Structures are given as structure tokens and as C-alpha cells.
Structure 1
């Protein structure tokens, strides 16, 4: 899976949800029902920061606020010869395996198998949020799942000045 314009079009319900729905013997239950029954409001409120992240602008770049460190970014400017797009892509790179490092991803619950879908949903959300927040910039969101499995599903973004059809 790799995309610069993420699109979560092949939506499959997560295995844990379909199992939960089967236990309730009610195929009409939706993911929203699950959130209500299982006390998901706390998790959804926290997830808002993931799907609608806070950002900061620094040196004509946009960075995820919770991953931003001025010294680190200044070092990337030196290491990457001031290539703003590469600097943003590296600094804003989020590995979902690392993000959920305290969650066991066992074969029993299939959560590890659900992470690529989450990456696409996150990427699509970032595309919309960041494009709205920064209308004067072209936002590129990259979603990938490393072939060798070293990083697992990842999401990142970078910006460039918006180009006008009028020159």
C-alpha cells in the first residue's frame, strides 16, 4: 500500500467489531453503537488529536506539534540541505506500530491487520484537515506499509506552495 492521496475506499469492518456484533446477535449494530456501548467517548476524544492534529509553522514549514523540536528540525535542515519537503516528510513521519507500542498486536484480535486501514483513514483525514488549514499550500500526504515490515503502516505529510493555474 502506498499513496500520496490517501483514499479509504475499501472499508472492511474490523474483526473485533464483527465479533462483538455477532456476540450481540444483531447485524444492525454499527461502529457508532460499539463506541457508545463500550464507553468509547474517552478514546474518541483522545483520537481527535490523532485525526485532527495540532501543527506549528517553523522556517516556512508545517510540523506536527507533538513531534516538533526546534533543535531537531534545525539539524534536519543541515542534514537535508534545506530541502523543506524532505524535512517535513521526515519530521512528520508517524509509524503506527510505534504509536500503539503498548497494545499487543496478536493474531487473536487481528489488530495488527487493521493498522493499514487505520493508516489510510488517518491519511485521508490529514489531507482534508491540512488542506483546509493551509489553503495557500499544496498538501501531500503519504501513506505506506513497508514491504519488509520494518516500520509497518506509516503516515506523513509535506507541503509546498500552492500553484495557481494563472501562473
Structure 2
């Protein structure tokens, strides 16, 4: 998925523990069970369907849904792409270490989300073609979205 050295703090702990420090050790040190449950929902997101559209529950807004229906002239794929669109950097914009390789970490997070969201949707909706797309805009910002083809 990504190299361990993407996280300098993890590598410091691993080195200090003569290589016997794992990602499970790191998670145990840095988080609690409530946060772990939150991440379960983060990596396996709930979805809702509104008027035949496949939408991420935690991103849903009735106001935005009505706006995108109008803007896209009821084009299902465009509604879903815009309603489910999220800038990857914004998932963790509050707790950011600007000194580390943030761009590489954001890219890795985008790819990890794409992997787990794709697996989760395939598991729950095996007969539907749900697409998870990660892409960069011209300004270099990374985005993720979900839509049904």
C-alpha cells in the first residue's frame, strides 16, 4: 500500500524498539477504540440512495443534492460525482504536520481510500458497477469521488 517511511514518527518508534514496533503498536499508542470505530466507518462508508443516486451518507446534504440535480440536468453520474466529491487533504486538515512529506501522505491516503472503498462497495453491491476515482486537479490538489456507472 505504502512504505513505512512515509511516517517519520512511526520509523523513529520502530528504530527505538530495534525493529520490533509494528503498525498495530503505533495505532495502539496513538488512538483509542472510539477512533478505531470511526475509522471503520471511514474506510467502509455508509451509503444512501436518493432518487436512484448512490451517495455517501456522511457527505449527503439535501440542499446540495437539489442544487446538483438542477445543475447537472438530472444526470445521475454527474450528480453522484459532485455529491460524493471530497478533497483528500480536507479529511485531516485540523491535525497536520506541515514539516513532514504531506503531499506523499495525502497521495497514499487517497490510494488507500480508493482501495478500501472499492472493496467495500464490491462486497455490498456485487451486481453494481461502483467506481471510486482519485484524481488531481490542475492546482495539484487530490480529490476522491464515487459514482455508479
TM-score scaled by length of structure 1: 0.78
Q: Residue 19 in 1 paired to residue 8 in 2?
A: no
Q: Residue 53 in 1 paired to residue 45 in 2?
A: yes
The structure in which a higher percent of residues are helix is: 2
Q: How many residues align?
A: 147
Choose from 88, 95, 103 the match for 1:96: 88
CA distance, structure 2, for counterparts of residue 127 and residue 37 of structure 1: 29
Q: Which one has more relative contact order, counting CA pairs under 8 Å at least 6 apart?
A: 1
Give me the CA root mean square deviation: 1.8
TM-score scaled by length of structure 2: 0.87
Q: What secondary structure, in the 3-state scheme, does the structure 1 residue paired with 2:129 have?
A: strand
Q: What secondary structure, in the 3-state scheme, does the structure 2 residue paired with 1:27 have?
A: coil
Task: Extract unaligned runs of 5+ from structure 2.
Answer: none
Task: Extract unaligned runs of 5+ from structure 1.
Answer: 1-7, 161-167
Q: Hey, what does 1:164 align to over in structure 2?
A: none
TM superposition outliers: structure 1 runs of 4+ over 6 Å: none
